[in-house]
Amino acid sequence: MTMPYYSIGEIHTLLVSRETSAEALCRDYLERIEKINPEINAYITTDPDGALNAARAVDRLLAAGEDLHPLAGVPAIIKDNICTRMLRTTCGSRILGQFVPPYSATVVERVNAVHGVILGKGNMDEFGMGSSNENSAFGPARNPWDPTRVTGGSSGGPAAAVAANIAVWGLGSDTGGSIRTPASFCGVVGMKPTYGRVSRYGLVAYASSLDQIGPFAASVEDVAIAMNCISGYDPADSTSARTSVPDFCAGLKKGVRGLKIGLPREYFGEGIRPEVSAAVMAAAAKLSDQGAECTEISLPHTEYALAAYYIIAPAEASSNLARYDGVSYGSRIDGDDIIAMSCKTRSRLFGMEVQRRIMLGTYVLSSGYYDAYYLRALKIRRLIKGDFDRAFASVDAIIAPVVPDVAFRIGEKTDDPLTMYMTDVCTIPVNMAGLPSLAIPCGLVDGLPVGLQIIGRPMAEAEILQIGHCAEQIIGFAGIANKTKAGAL
């Protein structure tokens, strides 16, 4: 069946006015998933029973005359590295192919507490390692704009599901761009919150000093609604911040008059496709027309970020992934002794990219190389943070491309890891500095979406959502997701 791209607010109105029931809506989405998911491969696992039970609970609340939270009854997809109690959580890996968590992540508890409806688990690059979703043990997710192309990664499933209208919103995680890149490639909105803004409890760790959970949706307002639900201190995550959480929807319509916006020259030069730079610049010019003051700035250590990231992230991953030894949990391949068992388990059940990262990470942490690689990368991280601190002394937000180009073809970059890593040049510095960043669509190149990122000061999600909302209105991209091929089905 065809289905309009409902916003969260529209669904809330439909439910409260009793024009539809949460159960009927849930059934419609489940039916669409059956029809569309075989081509798009956005879901690794669906949970029809759990979703319908949650939807029926919403209908009971309505019948009892209770007030509904805006997310109540709204169908969502959760990336498959976020634990869901009694629902398989694979991380896109064979090693966790049968893993059913005994508990839910804090963000999932929060979605359940407001009676959200979780349709299933989103496809992803194995353990979040990748930029295209091609490193999934469950096959690549496919871009709803053109299924021969990648969705971007690693949270390809949630981004594609929102773009194909087989979920209204979703949760992903972003270690080096994994929310923003797929948002950009799929023409949807995605936010990587400040490190510490959202609890990571129950997020399967990739690189713990960089990982952060955040939302996807078709509009900035919907992302703000989701942020209101998932943000805030969690005693179960010692890195979650005690900072108070504002209402992210309150200031959305305040406009951009008087705001200072920096355009870092390092993000518009070599390696960035000129048409992509032009689309981002055009959006900045429109924000200037609305009263923002756009100026060129410099973030001089940008060129070192990628190399430093691909030392720090694998180093942390090599430690985090040591727990998959075939003993305590995860799948196992038996061997003659414990060493043989562990070797077989790890070499056969981890994919090639994950094994590459473990080897890289182990190498850079080994004695003799620790100082030359890992320690030096940490120093670069500090310099990158310093660049942003200096910039934010004179500007309120920074605008840059999300990815250097539009979505590439499936298979185009799989043989060349370094070219694949280059996909992340504009997103990685933000994770290194722990900053919030919002990705929104800002135009089409070759008929495919181009993204714009708005980077803010620590904990300034409300400000970048405000700028993003204004940009979304004047760019006129909102709702264009209707034009995706799968979305029109």
Q: Which residues are part of the catalytic machinery?
A: 79, 154, 178
Is 95:322 a contact under the CB 8 Å cutoff? no
Spacing of C-alpha 7 from chain mean position? 19
Minimum CB distance to ligand GLN, residue 34 (Å)? 29
Q: Please say which residue, 126 or 266, places its beta carbon nearer to ligand GLN.
A: 126
Q: Please say which residue, 305 or 460, places its beta carbon nearer to ligand GLN.
A: 305
Q: Round to whole Å and give the CA distance between 424 and 301.
A: 15
Tokens 């359940």 belong to: 112
Q: Please say which residue, 205 or 395, places its beta carbon nearer to ligand GLN.
A: 205
Minimum CB distance to ligand GLN, residue 69 (Å)? 29
Q: Please say which residue, 175 or 484, places its beta carbon nearer to ligand GLN.
A: 175
Q: Which residues bind ligand GLN (CB under 6 A)?
A: 128-131, 154, 174-178, 206, 313, 424
Minimum CB distance to ligand GLN, residue 271 (Å)? 16
Q: Please say which residue, 165 or 320, places its beta carbon nearer to ligand GLN.
A: 320
Minimum CB distance to ligand GLN, residue 74 (Å)? 25
Alpha carbon of 297 to those of 144, 180, 266, 392, 395: distances in Å?
A: 36, 22, 9, 10, 9
Minimum CB distance to ligand GLN, residue 4 (Å)? 31
Tokens 């990262």 belong to: 357
